A = this chain, B = another copy of it.
Amino acid sequence: MSITKQNKINYPGGTKVKVSKLPTNYSNRGMALEDDINLTNNYYIDNDIAYIYKKPTPIKITKVDYPSRQKAVIKEAFFTTPSTTDYNGIYKGKYIDFEAKETNSKSSFSLANIHKHQIKHLENIYRHGGISFLIIRFNKLNKTYLLKAEDLISFLENEKRKSIPLDFFEKYGIIIEEKYNPRLDYLKIIDFLYGGSYGK
């Protein structure tokens, strides 16, 4: 992957280093989709199209060392459950909010991959006039779908199943084509879904 602006960090000692990403193995979250979305968001930012960012990973800090005033080092911390979704921002004056997940299943997306309060969050955003959705990649099918929060909620209201079958995505989702740049042009789908009504 390319090195993104957000990944340039200043170590407390003052040495500027570039890091490509966080260690990948502490989470089940796939990094490939995340990389594609981050690259896409950088494209949107660089071209002044939209300002959508990934939120930092929420952690609970329990121990910090201060070798000097400018050099705080976190010595113990734990990953915590996120209150909201990973991505939010603004596009054409509208509030955009989504969660992105990958699955290795070929037939369905397990709802165990999304916290209940994240689904509630997507619903809240939708009710308040924002645009909220899921981006779900079926790794083994090489397909990435955008599914509107409205359709997710409709599924949950009408089904008792603990996973969303692929055919639901085929029927209600929209495939996001992979391209060179931007990698995953999901805002094109947003334009399509919401027509000109959300344009300026």
Contacts and interface: CB of A to CB of B under 8 A. Distances in A.
Interface in A168-197: none
Nearest to A93: B129
A6 interface: yes
Interface string A20-63: 00110110000000000000000000001011010111111100
Contact of A64 (B11, B26, B80): B26
Sorting the interface of chain A by its residue count into under 10, 10 to 19, 20 to 34 or 35 or more gives 35 or more
Nearest to A124: B51
A57 B26 CA distance: 19
Copies of this subunit: 2
A88 to B, nearest CB: 7
Contact of A128 (B6, B78, B92): B92
A53 B94 contact: no
A92 B129 contact: yes
Interface of A: 5-6, 9-12, 19, 22-23, 25-26, 48, 50-51, 53, 55-61, 64, 66, 72-81, 83-84, 88-95, 97, 121, 124-125, 128-130, 200
Contacts of A5: 83
16 contacts: A5-B83, A9-B60, A9-B80, A23-B64, A50-B128, A51-B128, A55-B55, A59-B59, A74-B78, A90-B128, A90-B130, A91-B128, A93-B130, A94-B95, A95-B130, A129-B200
